[in-house]
């Protein structure tokens, strides 16, 4: 994980984002519309090519050094000519490289496709390219027509029930989402003083990655992690391995039913966006009942910009529509939604990642 000292200043990140958006807008304005659109339509091909490389383990095979096409094909169990054609696309996009001797090598973008990388996105690539994910997205038009996720009709159950039942898919999903979440940890810790709270309740905290990082930076604070029983047991083991068993309690439960009282801060990281307005409102109601007047609610989510520039939240919003029935929200929508459930949004803290920290108190 990157050191706090290596994080770029927030104004620089915002300026670079604006420049990237301007360059993209300018390029699309300079080429014929059908050319720009055709290039965008090819983005799905690239996703599947990255998935194929992840499935074959190409990055793992190159971890020890460059390999030529024949050796790489033997190592990953692929047809040499077909693999060459796959690598031709991926090297042209900078995901791998080919040296002057015809050997393939890793690039900075290829490193996260290794299964042993500190922050590996291999499982994320496997999930986004999986048959289930592709099938769900092929029914985006149905989700747009109905406003409902497509999993119930396709799989006979909601998405989160599916990944709990199909553990081969669920384990890839869990690891992939954990890896994505870990990318935002250092930016969050750099942007917000979690040490101001004596007791921090991490609701739906998974195996404890977030609360462990917070407690590492806030040595005077204590934590409480709440998650479903099967997840809570893994969290207990992980936190004990990290030497945090005495500083972080783990409780089993559902955030739809109850969360522990007595916290100074209640943390919801990438939770509300997973659920419909009704269900997200139920979660907020549960937290509201547990909070004391001085406590703060900390919501970590993407916040959709009001402008028409590209932003990851606009992609993830459709992912939520297709798979979970949840949504991403603008700052104004969060302010209104929180007010409807007894909270006042006090501030929005930006980070150098796409995530923001929305701080709220009881109204």
Catalytic center residues: 273
According to DSSP, residue 148 is labeled S
Task: Spell out the residues 6+ positions from residue 253 whose beta carbon is closer than 8 angstroms to its own.
Answer: 226, 227, 228, 259
Q: Cα dist. 246→179, 200, 221, 233, 264 in Å? A: 26, 14, 11, 15, 18
56/354 Cα distance (integer angstroms): 30
Contact yes or no for 248/199 (Cβ under 8 A): no
223/237 Cα distance (integer angstroms): 15
According to DSSP, residue 322 is labeled H
Query: Would you report the helix, strand and coil content of the chain in percent, each value rounded to 5?
Result: 55, 15, 30
325/21 Cα distance (integer angstroms): 29
- Collapsing DSSP to helix, strand or coil, 27 comes out as helix
Contact yes or no for 298/358 (Cβ under 8 A): yes
- Collapsing DSSP to helix, strand or coil, 347 comes out as strand
Task: Spell out the residues 6+ positions from residue 236 whose beta carbon is closer than 8 angstroms to its own.
Answer: 245, 250
Residues in the chain: 363
Q: What are phi and psi of 211, to 5 degrees?
A: -65, -35
The tokens of 164 are what?
Answer: 């709990």
């Amino acid at each position: 994980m990157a050191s706090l000292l290596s994080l770029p200043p927030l104004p620089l990140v915002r300026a670079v984002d604006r420049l990237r958006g301007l360059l993209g807008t300018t390029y699309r304005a300079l080429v014929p519309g059908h050319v720009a659109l055709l290039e965008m339509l090819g983005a799905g091909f690239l996703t599947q090519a990255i998935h194929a490389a992840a499935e074959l383990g190409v990055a793992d095979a190159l971890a020890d050094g460059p390999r030529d096409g024949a050796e790489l094909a033997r190592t990953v169990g692929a047809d040499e000519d077909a693999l060459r054609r796959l690598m031709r696309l991926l090297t042209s996009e900078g995901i791998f490289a080919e040296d002057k001797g015809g050997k393939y090598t890793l690039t900075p973008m290829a490193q996260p496709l290794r299964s042993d990388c500190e922050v590996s996105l291999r499982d994320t690539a496997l999930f986004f390219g999986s048959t289930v994910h592709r099938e769900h997205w092929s029914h985006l038009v149905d989700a747009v027509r109905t406003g409902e996720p497509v999993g119930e009709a396709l799989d006979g159950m909601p998405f989160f029930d599916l990944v709990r039942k199909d553990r081969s898919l669920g384990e890839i999903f869990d690891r992939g989402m954990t890896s994505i979440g870990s990318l935002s940890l250092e930016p969050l810790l750099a942007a917000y003083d979690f040490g101001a709270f004596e007791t921090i309740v991490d609701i739906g905290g998974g195996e404890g990655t977030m609360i462990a990082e917070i407690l590492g930076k806030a040595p005077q604070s204590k934590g409480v992690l709440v998650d479903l029983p099967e997840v809570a047991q893994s969290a207990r083991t992980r936190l004990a391995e990290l030497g945090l068993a005495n500083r972080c309690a783990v409780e089993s439960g559902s955030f739809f039913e109850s969360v522990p009282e007595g916290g100074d801060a209640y943390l919801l990281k990438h939770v509300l966006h997973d659920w419909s307005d009704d269900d997200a409102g139920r979660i907020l109601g549960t937290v509201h009942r547990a909070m004391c007047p001085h406590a703060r609610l900390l919501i970590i989510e993407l916040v959709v910009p009001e402008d028409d520039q590209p932003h990851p939240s606009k992609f993830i919003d459709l992912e939520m529509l297709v798979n979970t029935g949840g949504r991403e929200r603008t700052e104004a929508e969060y302010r209104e939604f929180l007010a409807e459930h007894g909270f006042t949004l006090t501030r929005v803290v930006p980070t150098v990642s796409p995530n923001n920290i929305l701080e709220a108190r009881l109204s």
